[in-house]
Amino acid sequence: MKLKYLLSALIASAFVFAGCEDESKVNEGFDNVKVSDTFLSIPEEGGSVTLTVKAEADWYLVQNENWPEKVTFNKDADGKTIKAKHDVFGNLVNEAADIKEKTAAWLAADKLQGGAGETAITFSAEATSGGREFELTLVCGNNRQFIRIRQGSLEAVSATCKDVIDGPDGKTYKVKGVCTAIANTTYGNWYLNDGTGKVYIYGTLDANGAEKNFTSLGIEVGDEVEVSGPKTTYNGEIELVNVTVLSIKKSLAKVITESKTFPKTAGEFEVKVAHKGGNFDASVPADMKSWIAISQIKTIKGVPSKLEPVPADTAVVSVSIAANEAGDRTGKINFASGSSEVYYEFTQEGAIIDASIAEFLAAEEGQTQYRVKGVIKSITVSSKYHNADITVVSTTGDELLLYRTVSSEGNIEDLGLTVHDIVTVVGKRSSYNGVPQMAQGGVLESYEHYEGKSIPEFLALTTSDTNLYTVYGKIVEVKDLSESYNNVSLTIEDEEGNQLYIYRCKAYDGINVATVNPEVGGYVAVCGKYGEYKGAKQMASGGLILNYYKPEPGTDPEPGTDPEPSAAIDFLLDSSLGLENATAVTSFTTDGITVTFDKGTNTNDPKYYTSGDAVRVYSGNTVTVSGAEMSKIELAFGANDGSNEITVDNGTYADGKWEGSASSVTFTVGGTSGNRRFAKISVTKK
């Protein structure tokens, strides 16, 4: 156990019996801030406790991934969980896109920040069984004051892994199980399984209570280990942190062969297992027997020596695997020797699965690669990172976000992708806040771009023009809807009353046009060739419906107007700017929108600071967004943001959102001191 925590545990225990002391007495602290207590206790049955802060300047409580909310993170392009990022004081500074979900921590506070003077903070917690605690950090200027809050007793409770999984965070448990995998041999990160569940051990102390000395314990996969430590939940994974090892029972079997990935073709490989127990056995889990088989087991006897009078025997297990026509899959072989059980895991590559948008949305998250085809509904391109957020739709209205997609050839921003283009992208299934999406790093394999034409422009073509064009309009007639031939004839109209007859078109994604069921009053985009029939101009047979939309009654858009909203243009005011700390910020331009920072009535320019990854806009400074007609501007603020009022020169502004109709909007930070920390500006064009 760290010395800091050992001392805090002893002192905290003393505070339980010192509750009758005068709470108005303020402890010695820093020159600019003092707190009434550094250790507080909440009873096990729940309740609240008050801390008094006396400060000479603004102060705040550090907010990270564990408090006041538990934060879980999304996965990156490689399928790995994104790590928490912090400023110099420990505040969480990840982008919103990194974060999957937030849930309230067990300890609540009625205030997270305050100003000069005396402030009372009330901490509260619901009832719990057993003990738990948090160490909070209060920052005032450059000083940090640590405050530990405990609920109940921290004495270790004997439990099963299931008890740990079902129990509260912060409680200390004592649990015994088998080491099934080791992730880090420096800090001692590994998995413990007792048959009732699996718990991740995040940090293992050595025999002297020191960190970063895991190898001195000699723990190996297959060993039975008893540990004691506090529980936490990180990104959905149950953990015991910085555990103390109480006992180790060495395993009688150890897998020698390292895990690897095999190609999707059928093949064979060997796994070597050293064992000392009797009755060695190898088996395949029942749900994997359809593609994994054990063909042979050979035994190599160990040779006794003075150093090893009872050596381990080595089992050489021959394994065959079938060809994989589906996505990537994980295999497992179980081994038993005496009372010990170990296993060998491996991965077999799979084929890329062709899926509709609906099938992709219904698939499980994982490493399987899918090929998805869709029509672009909205797109935001980053020329800095050479990727794009693309929302695609099927003809039946299923939507999918292709998050931060890249191109297989060249930079994606050079392709000129736009609404109604057809794209084919390969990537993995992930999610954000419970909503399915394609994981970051999906690869654009191909795209089909068709020049858009108004109805009059299309009708002005001649039969010599054999190109494909996209035409958009409101359906005024549906004719010959045929499920058998999978096509339909439509007449569409623009806002001027110009009409175009579209002869026998189909859905671009192969869905039966009867399922799409286009109706009068709906809006449709169709790509096809110019044609004529008996002197009448039309879109020739074989056109493809790219997008069909039927608005709700009473929400009919203006005829000919695309009902799809414009995509927001995001200005991320973070490390991607490539600026040094405390660098003055002037302006940025993306997609025809310019954001300009100006000192206004202040002598200080707005500056980018690496601590918090945000631009500090001081009182009197202005931020102007201009370049095109806009309907909405949303501001997001970074850690330790101030409370200065923000005013605008036109439209309406409240809670970080401006709405109106203007080609230029100026935001002014009010007050005579202080600042606001701009982390992101999202602009929606009209």
Greater pLDDT, 78 or 287: 287
Greater pLDDT, 640 or 447: 447
Q: Is the pLDDT of residue 441 over 90?
A: no
Round the average pLDDT of the chain to a whole number and report it: 86
Question: For residue 567, what pLDDT band results from cuts at 50, 70 and 90?
Answer: low
Cα–Cα distance between 470 and 357 in angstroms, integer?
A: 22
pLDDT of residue 17: 36
Reported as a single tens digit per residue, the pLDDT across 60-99 is: 999 999 899 988 888 877 677 888 899 888 999 988 888 8
Least confident of 119-128, 202-211, 380-389, 413-422: 380-389
Question: For residue 562, what pLDDT band results from cuts at 50, 70 and 90?
Answer: very low
Mean pLDDT confidence for 191-198: 90
pLDDT of residue 554: 58
pLDDT of residue 2: 35
51, 111 Cβ separation under 8 angstroms: no
Q: Is the pLDDT of residue 560 over 90?
A: no
Considering only CA atoms, give the Rg of the chain. Answer: 32
Of the ranges 394-408, 424-438, 531-545, 616-630, the best mean pLDDT one: 531-545
Cα–Cα distance between 242 and 273 in angstroms, integer?
A: 30
pLDDT of residue 28: 45
Q: Is the pLDDT of residue 461 over 80?
A: yes
Greater pLDDT, 584 or 76: 584
Greater pLDDT, 539 or 510: 539
pLDDT of residue 333: 95
pLDDT of residue 553: 65
Reported as a single tens digit per residue, the pLDDT across 365-376 is: 887 889 999 999
Reported as a single tens digit per residue, the pLDDT across 513-526 is: 988 899 999 999 99
Question: For residue 611, what pLDDT band results from cuts at 50, 70 and 90?
Answer: confident
Cis peptide before 68 (omega within 30 of 0): yes
pLDDT of residue 558: 43
pLDDT of residue 237: 82
Cα–Cα distance between 132 and 240 in angstroms, integer?
A: 13
Question: For residue 29, what pLDDT band results from cuts at 50, 70 and 90?
Answer: low
pLDDT of residue 9: 36
pLDDT of residue 520: 94
Question: For residue 325, what pLDDT band results from cuts at 50, 70 and 90?
Answer: confident
Question: For residue 119, what pLDDT band results from cuts at 50, 70 and 90?
Answer: very high
Q: Is the pLDDT of residue 328 over 90?
A: no
CA 454, 455, 461 angle in degrees (round to 5)?
95
Give the helix ranges, DSSP H, for 422-508. Answer: 455-459
Mean pLDDT confidence for 293-321: 89
Spatial neighbors of 647 by CB under 8 A, at least 6 apart, are 653, 667, 668, 670
Residues, the chain, total? 686
Chain centroid offset of residue 389 CA: 14
Share of the chain above pLDDT 90, in %: 46
Mean pLDDT confidence for 564-584: 75
Angstrom CA distances, 74 to 84, 201, 271, 433, 571, stand at 11, 21, 34, 9, 21
164, 175 Cβ separation under 8 angstroms: yes
Greater pLDDT, 119 or 30: 119
How many CB atoms sit inside 10 A of residue 443's CB?
A: 18
Q: Is the pLDDT of residue 396 over 60?
A: yes
pLDDT of residue 103: 85
Reported as a single tens digit per residue, the pLDDT across 485-503 is: 999 999 999 989 999 999 9
pLDDT of residue 590: 80
Question: For residue 24, what pLDDT band results from cuts at 50, 70 and 90?
Answer: very low
Share of the chain above pLDDT 70, in %: 93
Q: What is the 8-class DSSP label of residue 637? A: E
Least confident of 255-264, 291-300, 472-481, 639-648: 639-648
Cα four-point dihedral sign 487, 489, 494, 498 = positive
643, 674 Cβ separation under 8 angstroms: yes
Q: Is the pLDDT of residue 55 over 70?
A: yes
Spatial neighbors of 427 by CB under 8 A, at least 6 apart, are 369, 370, 372, 402, 405, 438, 439, 441, 442, 443
